[in-house]
Amino acid sequence: TCRMEKSMPRCVPMARTCQDLTCPPGSRCQMDRTMPRCVPVKLTCQDLTCPPGSTCRMDRTTPRCVPIALTCQDLTCPPGSTCRMEKSMPRCVP
């Protein structure tokens, strides 16, 4: 930008801000002293939509969709049968 110094016009660098910087997806702008920088966004389970039958859990610092562990409380068995867990899955057995 142009600035007058002692009655003389002079070009001086403009102070950059985050408004001057477009960051790629997965990052956001953050001021580092006087310079804007793109830094990775730390995602949480609030940023992730999991499909039905799964839920979000944090794997260290990364949110991941994991299957919901079903139990006999999630299964309605027909009359004459009952629910038993077989290999971590609920099953209706006579």
Beta strands in 1-94 (DSSP E): 2-5, 8-11, 27-32, 35-40, 54-59, 62-67, 82-86, 89-93
Enter the tokens of residue 46.
Answer: 């609030």
pLDDT at 34: 85
> CA angle, corner 48, sides to 45 and 52, nearest 5?
105
pTM value > 0.75: no
Q: Is the pLDDT of residue 33 over 90?
A: no
Residues 13-31 have pLDDT tens digits of 777 889 888 999 888 999 9
pLDDT digits (tens, 9 = 90+) for 4-17: 888 899 888 777 88
Alpha carbon distance 54, 17 (integer Å): 41
Name 9's bridge partners.
Answer: 4
